[in-house]
Amino acid sequence: METTAGVTSAKAGLEGLAWNVVGQTYTPKLHSDNVFMWHAAVPADTFVPPHVHPTQDEWILVLDGELEVDFGFETGNVTANKAGPGDVVRMPRGVAHGVFNRSGKDATCVFGVAPSRKLFDLFKALDGVTDPAELVRLSALHEVDFLPPPDAQ
């Protein structure tokens, strides 16, 4: 898929799309074979559980509010890294991470992955899914691997 010239409006997503993924609203802004970017509205007290992208680098540019991204799951030495407006969080492929809004206030940000691989299709499949087992199953089919809950490790 090639990128086309033009502008994706601040008020709209590609093809008019927006998805509810784990209680957050994801609005796709750019999608090609090389990169996928989406705007995210991250309500207070929501999170994306710890997971790994084995085939993609990921990043977050925080626009408003504050997020925490936890790393260190592989070693058991988990650290929370706070990011506020203008900060960029880097999540290299193969590194487990969880994204949390523990601030008590809503946050907005822009996420991106490179290459795009299967993530756009994953978000289509996850739109409105609330069953954790189904979220994990669908994610694994699209190259995103969720870690087991801490009490299951």
Q: Could you read off the pLDDT of 54-113 as tens digits, one per residue?
A: 999 999 999 999 999 999 888 888 999 999 999 999 999 999 999 999 999 999 999 999
- Cα(99)–Cα(71) distance, integer angstroms: 9
pLDDT for residue 140 is more than 50: yes
pLDDT at 151: 54
Number of Cβ atoms within 10 Å of the Cβ of 136 = 16
**CATH H superfamily, domain 19-144:** Jelly Rolls (2.60.120.10)
Q: Which amino acid is located at 149 in the chain?
A: P
Model pLDDT for residues 18-40, shown as the tens digit of each residue: 999 999 999 999 999 999 999 99
- Cα(31)–Cα(59) distance, integer angstroms: 15
Average pLDDT for residues 106-126, to the nearest whole number?
A: 97
